[in-house]
């Protein structure tokens, strides 16, 4: 039967694998986890990081910036027309 690890243990293992500076074989040996298992956890974590995150915030910011760009372009056109009469 396969050994079960808690989500917290997996997160800590991934954090250590990505930030500790230890090699993955050395870390997997220290943690008592198979190297392929540790590699799988790290890959899943990287995929999860790409799929999660503040996408909604980015979309809101993009919408706000598009409105601002449109307004600035309109203001620029008005100022160009005003400059002709001065």
Identify the pLDDT of residue 83.
85
One domain, residues 38 and 4:
yes
Print the SS3 string covering 5-71. Answer: CCHHHHHHHHHHHHHCCCCHHHHHHHHCCCHHHHHHHHHHHHHHHHHCCCHHHHHHHHHHHHHHHHH
44-84 pLDDT per residue, tens? 988 776 656 666 788 888 999 999 999 999 999 999 888 88
- The domain of 36 spans 1-52
Q: Are residues 28 and 2 in the same domain?
A: yes
pTM, rounded to two decimals = 0.55
Is the same domain home to 69 and 33?
A: no
| Domains identified in the chain, total number | 2
Is 8 found in the same domain as 43? Answer: yes
């Amino acid at each position: 039967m396969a050994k079960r690890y808690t989500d917290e243990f997996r997160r800590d293992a991934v954090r250590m694998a990505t930030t500790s500076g230890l090699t993955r074989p050395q870390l997997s040996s220290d943690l008592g986890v198979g190297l392929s298992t540790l590699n799988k956890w790290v890959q899943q974590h990287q995929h999860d990081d790409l799929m999660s995150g503040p996408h909604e915030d980015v979309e809101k910011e993009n919408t706000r910036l598009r409105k601002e760009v449109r307004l600035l372009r309109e203001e620029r056109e008005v100022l160009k027309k005003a400059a002709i009469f001065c």
